[in-house]
Amino acid sequence: MVDVAGGRGAGELSRDIERDFGEKIVALRRAIHREPELGFDTAKTARKVLDALEGLPLEVETGVAQNGLVATLRGARSGPTVGLRADMDALPILEETGLDFASGIEGKMHACGHDAHTAMLVGAAHALCEMRDRLSGTVRFFFQPAEEGGGGGKVMVEEGALEGVERVFALHLWPGLPFGEVSTKAGPIMAAADKFELEVRGTGGHGAMPHLGADPIVASAQVIGALQSLVSREVDPTEPAVVTVGRMEAGSAFNVIPEVVRLGGTVRSVSDGVRKMLPERIEQLSRGVAAGMRCEADLDYTFSYPVTENDGDSVRLALKAASELFGKEKVSEARAPSMGGEDFAFMLREVPGAYVWLGVGDVSGLHTPRFDFDEAILPMGAALHVALAERALLA
Which amino acids are annotated as binding site for Mn(2+), given as ranges? 112, 114, 148, 172, 367
Known binding-site residues equal 112, 114, 148, 172, 367
* CB count in 10 Å sphere of residue 55: 8
Among 35, 158, 51, residue whose Cα is nearest residue 104? 35
Within 13 Å, how many C-alpha atoms sit on residue 98's CB side? 0
Beta carbons of 123 and 378 less than 8 angstroms apart = yes
Beta carbons of 118 and 49 less than 8 angstroms apart = yes
